[in-house]
Amino acid sequence: MNFMGKIQKKPQSEKPVAAKKSSQPLQAVKGTRDLLADEIWLMERIRVKFLEIAFAYGFDGIETPVLENTEVFARGMGRATDVVQKQMYSFRTKGGDAVTMRPEYTAGIVRAYYENGMFNMPQPLKLWYWGPVFRYERPQAGRYREFHQLGAEIIGERNAVLDAQLVQFFWVCLKDLGITAITVEINSIGCMVCRPGYRVALVNYFRQDARKLCQDCKRRLKESPLRIFECEEIRCKEMAEKAPQTVDHLCEECHDHFREVLEMLDELEIPYHLNARLVRGIDYYTKTVFEIWPDGKPGFALGGGGRYDYLVETLGDKSAPAVGFSGGVERIVDELKNINAPIIRNIVVPTVFLAQLGDLGRKKSLRLFEDLRKVGIRVLESFGRNSIKSQLKVANREDAPFSLIMGQKEALDGTVIVRDMASGTQETVLLAKLIPELQKRFTKTSMQLGDKTAV
Ligand code: HAM
């Protein structure tokens, strides 16, 4: 039969109208990016390390909604801050509510502290977080409109030891990731007792030559003079260089608090640089403020934070001292790229492939599978296959860093062969010594056995 004959030619008018092709393929919104393979692996590596430390330091996780009522940030971060004035993605919902896509976590966490009655929980509350935040900034290297923050907040404790512990948390996290060329920049910006006096000194200083300031700083001088320290205009920067310093105006309590923080950093052997111009761009800070900068990139913070003893009362009817920090995940990823950190797949869970040969090998493998699972190792297998070659093919496809081979001889000897899948080298290991041997190998790839936080 002539098949073609069965197909009727459609009349011209019934032809489906092809969708009109646009000349340009669509693109991601300016300042946002797709995160692809290698970058995701580096992010996962940071996340595993961050969670390992958060877990060890006794932090619980929190995730707040991306959308908050605009008032949370306007009141929390300060209406005069650049973030609130210029950088927030704010809009009205169809129902008319004024909402904002979070430009940071801290104010939202304090909102959650009230809403979830967390003030009734044992204090201090120690919370970690990780997720996307949004700021309408001019995009450039290391500055995006959507980026990710990791961070930790401690609410309900005023002791200086916690300021130092948070610096230590972030410092250790970066160091353990291999980012070693970094410096802690630190300052104290006082409290409600001493800040007003400092503010007067600052206003008097800038007023002497106010006409030299840029338009933004003229406004800042009236609303929030400390913000002048953040201006990038050369003439404002030059004036800020000689401005009075916060540390010379601290009250006794703030002075002692700062001294204690520095003494603890000395004890921890964390080097720091006293930076009199560091005031941070958010209004809620009191006393300690700090940032960690990569060497040679002043001002390009990998993260920063400080104490915010009044934010809780600014957003509700209770008061509680607090301290925290946030790190910029994309900037940390860039640093990992700069130091050529290897891309390690399968970092989330320590993984091995278990290959077996012969009846006895298979029997012993089942037992070994469970022994490994119990200590937190994910075991991939292909027990249905008989040939070693085809099993190792699966191991390669699954990206397992190590394979364990249990044949007849190994089963009788109480041993197993450990094969490094990248180099192909093999070593026979006593079963009794297998777990410590794997622990040693996984540590090198920054995975931890039994590390449930990484699962
Ligand atoms: P922040 O200094 O505004 O502090 O942001 C923390 C970190 O986020 C920065 O040090 C930087 O690494 C990263 N970051 C900021 N903006 C961008 C951007 N546009 N693109 C890429 N990365 C960026 C806070 O957000 C406070 N909530 C920190 C804190 C927590 N204070 C007390 N607790």
Over residues 327-362, the pLDDT tens digits come to 999 999 999 999 998 877 656 678 899 999 999 999
State the greatest distance between any 2 C-alpha atoms of the chain, in Å, as a whole number.
101
Distance 49 CA to ligand 1 centre (A): 19
pLDDT tens readout for residues 232-283: 899 999 999 999 999 999 999 999 999 999 999 999 999 999 999 999 989 9
Q: Which of 115, 33, 148 is nearest to 316 (CA)?
A: 115
Q: What is the mean pLDDT of residues 13-27?
A: 67
Residue 4 pLDDT more than 80?
A: no
DSSP label at residue 225? G
For residue 190, the model assigns a pLDDT of 96
Question: Residue 151: which residues within 8 A CB-CB, separation 6 or more?
Answer: 105, 106, 128, 129, 130, 303, 305, 324, 325, 326, 327
Helices (H) and strands (E) in the chain, counts: 16, 16
Homologous superfamily of 351-453 in CATH? Anticodon-binding domain (3.40.50.800)
CB atoms within 10 A of CB 384: 6
Write the Ramachandran bin of 409: left for phi over 0, alpha for psi from -120 to 50, otherwise beta. alpha
Q: Which of 173, 171, 172 is nearest to 184 (CA)?
A: 171
Q: Which atom of ligand 1 has the smallest separation from the CA of 151?
A: 30
For residue 375, the model assigns a pLDDT of 87
Residues framing ligand 1 (Cβ under 6 A): 104-106, 135, 137, 142-144, 147, 149, 151, 153, 301-306, 308, 324-326, 328, 330-331
Asked if residue 225 has a cis previous peptide bond (ω within 30° of 0), the answer is no
Residue 444 pLDDT more than 80?
A: no
Q: Is 295 helix (H, G, I), strand (E, B) or coil?
A: coil
Question: Residue 319: which residues within 8 A CB-CB, separation 6 or more?
Answer: 310, 312, 313
Q: What is the mean pLDDT of residues 174-191?
A: 96
b/e per residue 156-179 (b: at least 16 CB within 10 A): bbbebebbbbbbbbbbbbbeebeb
Residue 148 pLDDT more than 60?
A: yes
DSSP 60-115: EE----SEEEHHHHHHHH-TTSHIIIII-EEEE-TT--EEEE-S-SHHHHHHHHHH
Distance 133 CA to ligand 1 centre (A): 9
Q: Which atom of ligand 1 has the smallest separation from the CA of 308?
A: 32
**Res. 75 pLDDT band, cuts 50 70 90:** very high
89 within 8 A of 100, measured Cβ to Cβ: yes
Instruction: Give the separation between CA 323 and CA 168, rounded to whole angstroms.
Output: 13
Instruction: Give the separation between CA 166 and CA 163, rounded to whole angstroms.
Output: 5
Instruction: Give the separation between CA 188 and CA 304, rounded to whole angstroms.
Output: 13
Q: Which atom of ligand 1 has the smallest separation from the CA of 324?
A: 33
CATH code for the structural domain at 37-194+250-338: 3.30.930.10
Beta bridge partners, 184, equal: 272, 292
For residue 439, the model assigns a pLDDT of 86
Question: Residue 401: which residues within 8 A CB-CB, separation 6 or more?
Answer: 344, 346, 351, 352, 420, 421, 422, 441, 445
Distance 193 CA to ligand 1 centre (A): 27
What size, in residues, is the chain?
Answer: 455
**Res. 8 pLDDT band, cuts 50 70 90:** very low
CATH 3.30.930.10 residue window(s) in the chain = 37-194+250-338
CATH 3.40.50.800 residue window(s) in the chain = 351-453
